[in-house]
Structure 1
Amino acid sequence: MMTSVIVQQLVGEGAIDIDAPLAAQMDLTGLEDIPNIHDVMVRELLSNRPGIPDFDSIPGQSGLRAFIERLMQHPDRPLETGKLLALASGQDASFAPGEAYEYWNTNFLLLQKLVEQITGDSFGQVFSNRVFSVAGMKDSSLKSDGTFENGLLSYAELVPDQIIDVTDAPLDFGASGGVVSTTSDMIRFLDALLVSRALLSPGQMEEMLDFRTPDSTPSQDG
């Protein structure tokens, strides 16, 4: 949601065209082999309708998901957004852009790359300038920034039947869930978004909450 807010802000400023192809608005070097990348619109990425496969679901050679396989094989090597996006290269598209709805994290990593190129800032800095500071979120950061302290330990079942401490795993989900925050800060975010409306103009908020299928039928998916 925070990533969508940032994109909507830039749309309102005229820096991003929501109904233009992603390829027309950013350098795709290194991303050329991601399916649908040359045709997908920014709106389709925001509404989870690009048909681009998710890095989180791509299988590895051992039967584990590919990104988990790499993390387990090389736990000391950072697995950042560029490497996660590379997992989608050469895969088959799920469907043509706009034809269906499918929530995938890859969509938001691509939007992160777009925002970074448009603004010239790191995504952590963009979050700080456009969301955290505006909403008064003093205890939030992007995990890759490494600025948080005294956080709760995190555990995940990366391997079947094995619960692993992933608190310090060198895994950067970036725009697809990489923010480390607190309950209080998330309340501040929702207040700034939905109550005080400090983050988006009325027109941008209306656009963000207007979920529709490709034929303009109102929908709950988006």
Structure 2
Amino acid sequence: MSSRYITIEREYGSGGTQIARLLSERTGVPCYGKEILEKVSRDKNIPVETIEKYEEKATNSILYSVYLMSQMSAGNSDMLTGEGHIYIAEQKVIREFAKKGSAIFLGHCASEALTEYDNVIKVFIRCSNEDIKRQMIADTYGIPANEIDVVRRKFDKKRSNYYGINTERKWRDFNEYDIVLDSAAIGIEGCVDILEGLLK
């Protein structure tokens, strides 16, 4: 059965963004990652940089998670924090993009936004080889070798916290995903080959 939507969560330095963009080029299916932030930025008249700071402030505190989920469930948006409002806006934008047709979504808890949609494949991309991961980070982002590990941990923590606070699930719990791909084992092209078959 073909799939209309692929949502991708990924480790920093796994090549997940590159995989998603290449998959989009090959299939002609649009890919939305930074485009989600840009649309929220336009809709809310908030700079993308400010939105990114809100995402970084998300905490994995259990009490905060319970509070945020209870306010959203009650439809009490006025009681949400700035981070909560940004999350709600991102979820709305993801659903707007999904209404246009098949799509690839990068991060932003897209699978949560599409829980009522059929044919959604949830993907996690990791890189099991630390040397390959460091090299990919250096090549992609130009980060000095002595800063790579610090930057990688920062971004993975941000993604994990943001996912956890907004879904009440663990980001690296591979049982949460339909497919887990290791870019170190099968390569960027190999990952794209596998995912391409789901969109044909």
Between Structure 1 and Structure 2, which shows a larger proportion of helix residues? 2
| Structure with max Cα Rg | 1
Which has the higher relative contact order, 1 or 2, with Cα contacts under 8 A spaced 6 or more apart?
Answer: 2
The answer to whether the superposition gives a TM-score over 0.5 is no
